Each structure stands twice: as C-alpha cells, then as structure tokens.
Structure 1
Amino acid sequence: MSIPTDFPKPTFVSVNGVELEVFEAGQENAGNPIILCHGWPEHAFSWRYQMPALAAAGYHVIVPNQRGYGNSSCPSEVTDYDIEHLSGDLIALLDCYGYEDATFVGHDWGAMVVWGLTLLYPDRVKKIINLSLPYQERGDMPWIEFMEEIFGDDFYFVHFNRQPGVADAVLDKNTFRFLRNMFRKNMPLVPPEPGMMMINLAKAKAPLGEPVMNDSDLAVFVSSFEVTGFTSSINWYRNLDRNWLLLAEAHPVIQQPALMIYGDRDMIAKSEKLLDFVPNVDVINLDCGHWIQQEKPEETNRAILKWLKQQEAS
C-alpha cells in the first residue's frame, strides 16, 4: 500500500479476536490518550493532518484501521461488525495500552461507533469529539426499517441491507472511479439521479465538484480497498438494526463533555435534538462538506485543540 513515508509506520495489535493495524503519534508514556476513529469508505490515513498536531500538543495519538479496513482483520461473518464487536475492539485497544479511559474522536461511521461505545462503556470514555454524524436517537423503529419507510428502497443504507452483495460487486469493480467521485468538495446542487447513490458514483465517468485530496493521497485509499474489497466495511451498515437491538438497554443520555463539528455543506443533517441526548455538548460549524478533517485540516485542528484546552482548564 502506497502510504507516504512521513505517515507513521503501523504496528499490529491483537485485540478482541482480531488483529488491528494501528498508527501512533506522540509518546505513550506521556499519557493523555486520544483515539481517532475513521469513517466509510476511509482509512486511518484520513487523520493524517490531525495526528502531528495532537501529538505536538502532548497527546498519545492512537489511530486504528478498524476491523474490515486496511491491513486489519476482515472477519467473514456479517454479525462480526456489530456495535458490540466494534466497541469491544476499542476497549481492548485501551486495555492493551494500559489506559483506563481516553478521549475518542470519530468521523462519519467512526462517530457512530464513538456514540455507541459511550453508551455501552461510559466509564471508559473521558471526552468525545465527533465530526459530521451527530448522536442518532434510537426511536421506536429499527433504523433500517425507519430509513426504508422515509427514504425508500434505493437509499444506500437500505439497499446495502436489502440487496446484499449487489453494491459490493459494483464498487469492487470500479474502486478507483468510486473513490475519486466520492472524495469531492464544493459540490454543485444537482437533483439526485434515480437509483442507489453509491452505485451511481461508482459508474459516473465525470466527477462533480473538486477533489478533496491529491492523487498520491487518493492512491492510499484506492490501494487499500483494492486489497480488502468493500464487503467488510459495508457490513457495518448491515448491522444497524442489530445495533438498534443491542443498544436497547443502554441509558440514552451521554453525560461526557462532547464537541460536535458539522460541515455546513455536508449532506448529513444536523441534529435538532442533540442537547436532549448530549447535554454537555459544544457545537462548531465549518464551511465545508462531509470530509471535514481533510477539507479543512487547519480549522479542524484549531477547533479540536482549543476545545481540549478549554476542557483541561475547567
């Protein structure tokens, strides 16, 4: 895999029945652990701009390729990607380094994991910083059923679940084109095409907007998914209704200090009920789309470091 030489070299850590590829910055014995959790379809490399800034501020930065990604294990069973397994990996990672708790940072699907982790293991989460995806209220209806009722069969969350393997095959066949078309910013407002959005992206010959990253950085993501394929990462989506059941007994209100960073041009909606479920949250909006920490790295770093400093002073 063509990861630039200035990115940390990985170590491989056996946790929770899998092996995780883990990238680190900062000194382990300095304490102050902060664990960064990537989204879909991404890689630990998506945090390349945050790792040195956090390490310079005195944090032990731990960035795993989560199960199903990069050179980490890709179990074959769909249920091996539910919130209990994904959270269990992160807790076992804490144990491996000897930390009682840590600050967890998540983007996109990584944010979903951090919210769920905090519900399941509140004593192991010190602070939360999430990007793009706000806390998702559990509600009375399983999440995929709810999305199917609201958005229809072609919504990609629903399609991934109801037609397993179909999108996987298209994305695997068109890995470069899909990721090139996916990682865009300053997108024009155009009506959606009929059909499933991710399949449309994988087949579209002319990308919209501007590239989020240069060709060499994009190659890191492309080469990673050319090895793993997309099924293991899409299996995260195929556990949403299972996660809804697994979280049934968890207390729904998160008390930890939290920072929510939105992109004003992100297609993911902001939460109108965030304070109801995360009462100790601060909210920041940046002028960008979905790929917040890659589109606006300096602004993201300033927001995170300022908030962390304020928390330490309080």
Structure 2
Amino acid sequence: MFNPTDFPKPTLISVNGVELEVFEAGRQNAGEPIVLCHGWPEHAFSWRHQMAALAAAGYHVIVPNQRGYGNSSRPTEVTDYDIEHLSGDLIALLDHYGYEDATFVGHDWGAMVVWGLTLLHPNRVNKVINLSLPYQERGEKPWIEFMEEILGGDYYFVHFNRQPGVADAVLEDNTFRFLRNMYRKNEPLGEPEPGMVMINLANAETPLGEPLMSDSELAVFVSAFETSGFTGSINWYRNLDRNWRLLAEVNPIIQQPTLMIYGDRDAVPKSEILTNFVPNVEVVNLDCGHWIQQEKPEETNQAILRWLEQQDAT
C-alpha cells in the first residue's frame, strides 16, 4: 500500500477565475506534459500510483484537484461546473505552464471531462487516455432526461438533479461510511438497489466487500470530503443536460490517438460503438472493478507506458 506521506505537496494555482490545488511530479524533466483528471467521488490522490511511474518515464505529470474538490475553489453557482468551465480550467492550466498541448488522462467523471475537453479544444490535446467511462454518444435527448425515462427518478444521476441538496446532505453526514463502502474491489456498486445506491452506501453500517485501500489512504479521501463537502462535485452531474446543449455544434469525432482502459468487473458498460466516434482507439481490458488505476496500479501503468511508447515510436 501507498504511504500518503510520499504524495507530493500541492501548489494553489490561479486559473480561469478559480484556484486549483495541483500536485506535480517530474517537472525537472522538462518533458512532455501529461495531465491526470480524477473522477467522482475522488481526488488527485487517486493517481498516486501513476505519478512516479510517469515521471520516471520522462513526463511532467500534472494532477489537479478539479473545481469542487479538495482545496480547489468551490463556486456557488451550479452552472460554474459545466463542461466549458471544467475544460477551461485545464486549458488555463496548460497556459500557466506554457504548454501548447498535452496528453490528458481521465478516470470516471475525469474521462467525461477529457472527452469534452478534446471536443471543445482539439488543438490542445495531443493524446487521450481514458479509464472506465467510454465516449458517450450525445443522442437525441438530453442525458438526464434520457436516463430518467429509462432508469427512473431514483437513479442517482437523476436524483442528484431532481432533488438538489438531498444526497449532498446524506453523504456529508456519513462521509466515512460512504467512501469506505464506495472504494471496494471487483464489485459493481449498484447492487442491490441501483437507484438509491449512493444513499444506500452512505447508510450501510457494515463494511461492504473487500477494501480497495489501506485505512491511511482512505483517510486522505475522507479528510478531503469532510473539508469540501459533496455539493461542488455533485454539481458536475447537475450540468449534464447543459453539457449536452453546449456540445450540440461541435464535431463529435475524436481524431487523437486514444487508449481506452476498461475494468472487466466495472458496472460502467463498455461501448459497442466506440470506434464510430473514436476511430484511432486501442482498447485494454483489466480484471478489476471500477477503480482501475487504484485496484490494478502496476497493470494500469504498464498499459499506459507501453501505449505511450508505441505512440512515440510512430
């Protein structure tokens, strides 16, 4: 297990009207930048196993706590968490360091941000590596509206939007239990009642499944969310239909070389049409659940570094 004291110390960087808490490794390399984007409910610390390996390979590794997370800014307006703002933060971060473009890596919601960033700012993204969440086709109906029709009002994406503040309060009252029960190996998170899964996880007193991490690692996440609360991060979900509209006029095809890493036991379904929208993609499947880079760190590092080496050789 990783010793949290070995994680780099952060810097607060002012970009795009907010401050981002940013962790770095390998800046002295003066190498190609690679930006790692966490998911929900996570933290830059979720990339702790990747930072040293990528820095050792010569990259300048940049890992922000995105807005709403950790000690980064938490704007009060819900619309300040739409894809234009989230991608704008990352572009401004590149500008801060003086980089024209970078490789972007995303997991879970971080993958959604990287997909959107690549659509909105294709000239600033040279390669894409995403974990768990494949490219989401825009479709004919806004995403929350579509999910509500198919999965019902208790599905957590819909619940977050239709009952603002309810889940936020439950998760904040039960932060330790919720995160302990979220971060487990090899198991889908949606059983037995997928609609209210997040609230169920927060209310479950008995630990569920095999822990993903040590108590000291878990404490990093718990402390961060006890400080930040959950509203800022859940506001990302509350912009899904707004994002659907914001992406209406962009070219939906991602041309950048892309690596897609799935967990075979992940509840997030694999895409059957990925190459329709991401034609230059390579797919890797690992035997793990949703928290891919934390559950299978060595395999994840090997897959990423092998693919990057192949791209550099072409």
Q: TM tier, shorter chain?
A: over 0.9
TM-aligned CA deviation for residue 4 of structure 1: 2.4
Which AA in structure 1 matches 2:177? Answer: R
Task: Report sequence identity in percent.
Answer: 82
* Contact 2:188 2:266 survives alignment (8 Å): no
Q: Give CA-to-partner distance per residue, 1:221-260, whole Å, 9 cap, x none.
A: 0000001110000000000000000000110000000000
TM-aligned CA deviation for residue 104 of structure 1: 0.1
TM-aligned CA deviation for residue 286 of structure 1: 0.1
User: Which residue of structure 1 aligns with residue 226 of structure 2?
Assistant: 226
User: Which residue of structure 2 aligns with residue 75 of structure 1?
Assistant: 75
Within 1, Cα distance between the matches of 2:109 and 2:189?
A: 24
Moved over 2 A (4+): 186-191
TM-aligned CA deviation for residue 284 of structure 1: 0.1
Q: Structure 2: where are the runs of 5+ without partners?
A: none
Q: Does 1:252 align with 2:257?
A: no
What secondary structure sits across from 2:93 in the alignment? helix
TM-aligned CA deviation for residue 169 of structure 1: 0.5
What secondary structure sits across from 2:282 in the alignment? strand
Q: Give CA-to-partner distance per residue, 1:257-307, whole Å, 9 cap, x none.
A: 000000000000000010000000000000000000000000000000000
Within 2, Cα distance between the matches of 1:195 and 1:20?
A: 32
Q: Does 1:105 align with 2:83?
A: no
Which AA in structure 1 matches 2:7? Answer: F
What is the CA RMSD across the aligned residues, in angstroms?
1.3
Q: Structure 1: where are the runs of 5+ without partners?
A: none
TM-aligned CA deviation for residue 134 of structure 1: 0.2
**1:4-23 correspondence runs (5 A):** 4-23=4-23
Q: TM-score, normalised by structure 1?
A: 0.97
TM-aligned CA deviation for residue 208 of structure 1: 2.2
User: Which residue of structure 2 aligns with residue 163 of structure 1?
Assistant: 163
User: Which residue of structure 2 aligns with residue 64 of structure 1?
Assistant: 64
More displaced 10-residue stretch of structure 1: 60-69 or 178-187: 178-187
TM-aligned CA deviation for residue 31 of structure 1: 2.7
Within 1, Cα distance between the matches of 2:246 and 2:261?
A: 27
Aligned length: 312
TM-aligned CA deviation for residue 26 of structure 1: 0.2
**C-alpha spacing 1:259/1:69, structure 2 compared with 1 (3 Å):** same
**1:201-212 correspondence runs (5 A):** 201-212=201-212
Q: TM-score, normalised by structure 2?
A: 0.97
User: Which residue of structure 2 aligns with residue 305 of structure 1?
Assistant: 305
What secondary structure sits across from 1:310 in the alignment? helix
More displaced 10-residue stretch of structure 1: 3-12 or 263-272: 3-12
* Contact 2:155 2:194 survives alignment (8 Å): no
**C-alpha spacing 1:27/1:191, structure 2 compared with 1 (3 Å):** closer
More displaced 10-residue stretch of structure 1: 21-30 or 134-143: 21-30
What secondary structure sits across from 1:210 in the alignment? coil
Which AA in structure 2 matches 1:15? Answer: V
User: Which residue of structure 1 aligns with residue 49 of structure 2?
Assistant: 49
What secondary structure sits across from 1:96 in the alignment? helix
* Contact 1:188 1:208 survives alignment (8 Å): no
What secondary structure sits across from 2:5 in the alignment? coil
**C-alpha spacing 1:24/1:282, structure 2 compared with 1 (3 Å):** same
Q: Does 1:173 align with 2:173?
A: yes
